[in-house]
Amino acid sequence: MKTTLEKAKEQSHDNLVDNLQGLLQKNYEAEKGFTKAMENAEDNRLKHFFKNQAAQRARFANELTNEIRNLNEEPVESGGATAALHRAWMDVKNTFSANDDEAMLEESIRGDKASVNAYEKTLEENNFPPHISSVISRQANDIRETLSTVRRLEDIEDKS
């Protein structure tokens, strides 16, 4: 039988892993979404931007995977059903939009806002070890920077 302290440590461990798994799935989703946007983009600057964002999210996923493995747990291997729906929505918008690149930028903004919110909520609601908080905070900041860049690209696209 486990002591109260052992149960609390186990629960804390499980909570940490669950939160990291959730962020990992978000990064899988974002990587696939940015890859899809890169494939659909017409403007070469946007293709390059989306390619870099997909690579960034793959790097984030690798970092989170390493943290999960360091906790002696097995990381999830792919995004969820929500991600598939988001990519399908990007395909629909791409097919019917008068300005495909602008529609993908709008979807990128929506997706990055959701990612930032997920990261912020995860940080606010949990007390992670400092090294893990640092990884999560850095990734959140990088996504915020991406969001600012996407908004600037959207402004440029609006003026074209």
Segment 66-119, tens digit of pLDDT:
999 999 999 998 755 555 554 454 554 444 344 588 888 888 888 899 999 999
- How long is the chain? 160
Give a yes or no: residue 12 inside a domain.
no
What's the structural domain count of the chain? Answer: 1
Q: Which two tokens stand for residue 97?
A: 């939009």
In a domain, 80, yes or no: yes
Q: For residues 43-55, give the mean pLDDT.
A: 93
Distance CA 109, CA 111 (A): 5
pTM of the model: 0.83
pLDDT-derived band at 9 (thresholds 50, 70, 90) equals: confident
Tokens 């690798």 map to which residue? 62
The top-scoring range by mean pLDDT among 11-15, 109-113, 135-139, 151-155 is 135-139
The enclosing H or E element of 43 equals none
Look at residue 109 and tell me if it is in a domain.
yes
Point out the least confidently predicted range of 1-5, 44-48, 67-71.
Answer: 1-5
CA distances from 42 to 85, 104, 109, 157 (A): 22, 10, 18, 12
CATH code where residue 93 lies:
1.20.1260.10
Domain that holds residue 68: 24-159
5 located within any domain: no
Over range 25-33, report the average pLDDT: 93
**Rounded Cα distance, 39 and 24, in Å:** 23
Q: Can you give the three-state secondary structure of 84-139, one letter per residue?
A: HHHHHHHHHHHHHCCCHHHHHHHHHHHHHHHHHHHHHHHHHHCCCCHHHHHHHHHH
Domain contains 2: no
d(CA 111, CA 1): 45
Q: Give a yes or no: residue 36 inside a domain.
A: yes
Instruction: Please state which of the ranges 30-44, 78-92, 107-121, 127-141 shows the lowest mean pLDDT.
Output: 78-92
- What percent of the chain clears pLDDT 90, i.e. is strictly above it? 55
pLDDT at position 158: 59
Instruction: Give the residue among 56, 72, 91, 54 at the shortest CA–CA distance from 16.
Output: 72
